[in-house]
Amino acid sequence: MRITSNSRPFDIAGATLDIGRTSGGVIEICGRDQLDLMRGLGFVHAHDRLTQMSLVRLVGQGRLCECLDDSEESLAIDVFMRQLGFVHLARDEAGRCTPEAASFAEAYAEGVNAGLRRHSRPWGLKLAGLRPEPWELADTLLTILLMSYVGLAQTQQDLEKFLIQSLQAGVDRDRLKQLFAPHLDGLTDELAELTKKVRVVDPVIARFPAILPAFTASNNWAVAPWKSATGSALECHDPHLECNRLPAVWCEVVLHTPDDYQIGVTMPGVPGLIMGRTRDVSVGFTYGFMDMVDYFIEECEAGNYRRESGWLPFHVRRETIRRKKHPALTIAVYENELGTLETDPRQTKPPEGHYLCRAFSAMRGGSARSLHALSQWPRARSAEEAQCVLRDVSISCNWVLADRAGNIGYQQSGLLPDRPHSGLYPLPAWDAKAVWRGIVPVEQLASLLNPPEGFIVTANDDCNQPGKPLSINACQGPYRAERIRELLAAKDKLTIADMQAIQADLFSTQARRFMEQIRPLVPPTEGGKDFLKWTLHYSGDLEETMWDRQASWFEEFYRRLLRDVFGGGFFGTAAWDALVGSTNLIDVYFHYFDAILLGGRKGHENRWFGQRTRENAMRPILENVLHDSGMPVRGWIEKRQVTMQNLLLAGKLPRWLNRLLKVDYGPITLSGNRSTVVQGAIFKSHGRVSTFAPSYRAITDMGTDEVLTALAGGPSERVLSPLYTADIRRWLAFEYKTLRGIASLPVGVR
C-alpha cells in the first residue's frame, strides 16, 4: 500500500487517520489526538524508513554479524555494542517510563507493526535477507540511547582516550596541560604516573558505520520580535550531521490535530518531533558537548577490583554473538558500580594490573526521561514551559526556543555527572573522593530567557554560565557562533532573507584571526599578492576560482603549520599523521590548537616553536606555499567532493547496476569548512570517509504557520522512488520549500 500525494483515510490500530504528502513529498497526517498521530507516524516510518530504523536497531543489539555482514569490522562493532549493554538498559528503562511516555511509544509501535503487516519490504532488505521483527517500546529507548552516545558522548570519550595515550607515549605533560587549559590543571605527577601504568586495551574505539550518523555539530539561533522585521520572534536551526549517506538522517513530517499542528523532523525509530514547531512554540538544538563520559582507573587482581574497603568481585555479563559464516563468539563483560571495564572480552578474567573503567552517565537511566519530554514538549504553550520540559532530555543538547508571544530562550539538557574534577583525565576508582557523587539536578543546568541583545545563538561553543556547574570542558570553539552573532547584531531589523543568508554564510572568522597575524609575513610574490585579496570566504561556487585558490592556499598553510608545531615537535609526526588521517578529533577540537598558534600564553612561545619565534615558524611555510604564483594545490572545490551512499547497498551492487538504479547520489560539493557557518567538514575516520554538514535547514517566523526547510536527501528511502533524493538539489542550492500548518481543523477530522 503506497502513500501518495492524495490524502486518504488509513485504518491503523483502531484509529482512522488521513495520510498524504505535501507538494514536496513530505508526509502529512491528520488525526484526533497525539496518540493517533504517533500511530500514523509509526506507520509512515515503516513505509518510508524501515531499512534505516531496522539497521539502527541491529547495530544497537550487536547483531550485525548474525543478520547482515559477518566481517571483522562488524564483529568489532557487535563486541563494542554488547559491552555497552544498551539492549539490557533499554529493557530496564521500559519499566521506568511514565504512563504518558509508555502510551506515546506504544502507539508508535502499533503503527510500525501495522506498517510491517501492510507494506512490502524495501527491496534492499529483501536483497539482504532481512525480515524486520515487530517493534517494541524497548527498541525506541535503544534508539534514543544510541542517539545520546554515537558521535556525541563518544566524542568526549575519544578525546579523553587520546589524552591518556598521549601521556603514555611520553608527550610533555606541561604543554599538554597548556593546550587544554584549565581542564588538566589537576593532573598531578602522581596521576600522570598512575595513568602510564594503565593497560589500554582499545587504543582505537570501534567506529560505527554510516547507519548511525555522527551528531557532531550544529547551529541554532532565535531573534526577539523587536529585532525582527516582521515583529514576531524568529527561530532557525541547521543540525550538522553526516551527510554523505542516503536516506537522509531525518524524516520530515507535518502533523495535524483539531486544535494544533506540528512541523519538523523526526528520527525513524522514535516517536514525536525532535526539532520543529507547533502553533505556539518552536525548538531546535545543537550538540551541547556536555561531558557525560569519564574514565576511572581500576586496579584488578584475580577478577576483583580494589576499593578502600578491600577487593570486590566484578559483575560478569556473558554475551553470545551469533555469526552467519563463523562459529558463535561468547564474550565476558566486566562491570561494577562505576561502569564497564575495558578489557579483552575474550579472556576469562582480566590479568592482574590497571585498566580503564568507562562511566557513561546515561547508563544510570535517562532514555525514559527523554521519551517523556518528547511526548510533552508539543503541549507547551510558551518558551518557558518548553524549557521546563526539555531540560529533562538525557541527551546533551543546547536548545533554542521561540514562542508566538515573542519570547526567546535557551535551555541546556543532558545527564551531567556531579564530579570533583573536570572529567578530562582519569582518577583512581578506589578513591571515594574521586568518583561521581550522582547526577546534577536539571534545575541547575544553564538556562536563559529574553536576553537584552535580542537574540540567542549556539553553535557547539562554550555555553557554560557563571554560577552554574561546569558542564562543558571541551567543545568545538567559538568561530561559528561569533560569525552568527556578528550578522545578527549588524542590522536593527532582521528579515527571513537575512536568516537564509546566515544559513548560507561561507565567511571564516578562523581565517580572519590567522590573517591578522600572517598578513605582514606574506611574501611579495604573485601568489602572495593574490592571497592578500582573499575575502576569507570558502566558496561553494565553481565560478569563484579566486576564492577557490586562496582558500586552498590557506588550508595548505594551516595543515603544514599544525604538523610542524604539533607533529614533529610534540606528538611526533607519525602519531600526528595518524590522528589527522584516521580520526575526527582535530576537526572537532581544532580551536585548542589555534589558541597556541595564535597566541597561547605570552612568553611561552619557545615551548611550542623551539628556538624560533612564532613569526619565524610561520614565514617559511607561507613562502613555500605562495612562491611565485602559489603552489599548485588542488582547488578547494575539488577537495569538497563526496558521494552520498546508500546505507545498506553501498558497495554491494555491480557498478553498472548502481548507476542504473541511482542507488548513490553524486559526487556533490560540500561548501564551507570546519569554521564557517556552513560547516562542510570532510575527513577520513578509521578507513571510512565521513562528513559533518547542515543535514537539515529550518527557518520559522512565529507570526506565521509556516516553516521554510531543506533536507539533505528526500522523504523516502525507497531507491526507485523519486522521493529518494527529492530535496538534494534544493539543499545544495541553499533554497527552501514551505511547509504549512493548519491553525485549526474541523472537530470531526478523521
461 or 149, higher pLDDT? 461
The Cα 641–Cα 734 span in angstroms is: 17
- Quote the Cα angle for 308-310-315, to 5°: 105
> Rounded to the nearest 10 degrees, how much is the dihedral formed by the CA atoms of 592, 596, 602, 608?
130
Could you give the percent of the chain with pLDDT greater than 70?
93
213 or 616, higher pLDDT? 616
124 or 198, higher pLDDT? 198
Mean pLDDT of 112-137: 93
Size of the chain in residues: 750
How confident is the model over 625-648, as pLDDT tens digits?
A: 998 666 656 667 777 889 999 988
Q: What is the pLDDT of residue 346?
A: 85
Does the pLDDT of residue 545 top 80, yes or no? no
Q: Collapse the DSSP code of 413 into the 3-class scheme (helix H, G, I; strand E, B; otherwise coil) and give the result.
A: strand
Q: How far is CA 472 from CA 80, 285, 289, 593, 600, in A?
A: 26, 16, 6, 18, 20
The Cα 18–Cα 7 span in angstroms is: 6
Residue the block writes with cell 587520546: 162
191 or 748, higher pLDDT? 191
Does the pLDDT of residue 747 top 50, yes or no? no
Q: Where are the beta strands (DSSP E) in 593-701?
A: 641-646, 665-669, 681-685, 688-694, 696-701
Give pTM, 2 decimals: 0.95
How confident is the model over 220-249, as pLDDT tens digits?
A: 999 999 999 999 999 999 999 989 999 999
- Bond prior to 247 in cis (omega within 30° of 0): yes
How confident is the model over 31-74, as pLDDT tens digits?
A: 999 999 999 999 999 999 999 999 999 999 999 999 999 999 89
The Cα 88–Cα 92 span in angstroms is: 6
Q: What is the pLDDT of residue 193?
A: 95
pLDDT band at 285 (very low <50, low <70, confident <90, very high): very high
Phi, psi of 366, rounded to the nearest 5 degrees: 150, -30
Chain mean position to CA 686: 17
Chain mean position to CA 292: 14
Determine the angle formed by the axes of helices 50-61 and 72-84, rounding to 10 degrees: 70
Residue the block writes with cell 597566541: 599
Chain mean position to CA 434: 29
Q: What is the pLDDT of residue 377?
A: 97
Phi, psi of 114, rounded to the nearest 5 degrees: -65, -40
Residue the block writes with cell 552467519: 324
- Rg for the chain (alpha carbons), in Å? 26
The Cα 570–Cα 608 span in angstroms is: 8
All domains of the chain in start order, with CATH: 13-151+213-288+365-419+437-505+645-713+724-750 (3.60.20.10), 152-210+291-364 (2.30.120.10), 516-638 (no CATH)
Contact (CB, 8 A) for 46 and 112:
yes
pLDDT band at 356 (very low <50, low <70, confident <90, very high): very high
Q: Which amino acid is at 513?
A: R
The Cα 732–Cα 734 span in angstroms is: 6
Pairing verdict, β 293-301 and 427-428: parallel
> Phi-psi category of 68—alpha, beta or left, where left has phi over 0 and alpha has psi -120 to 50?
alpha
Answer positive or negative: Cα dihedral of 31, 32, 35, 39.
negative
> Rounded to the nearest 10 degrees, how much is the dihedral formed by the CA atoms of 594, 599, 601, 606?
90
393 or 748, higher pLDDT? 393
Cell of 302: 584475580
Q: What is the pLDDT of residue 1?
A: 60
Cell of 696: 537539515
Contact (CB, 8 A) for 401 and 412:
no
Going by the DSSP 8-state scheme, the letter that residue 338 receives in this structure is S
Q: What is the pLDDT of residue 444?
A: 97
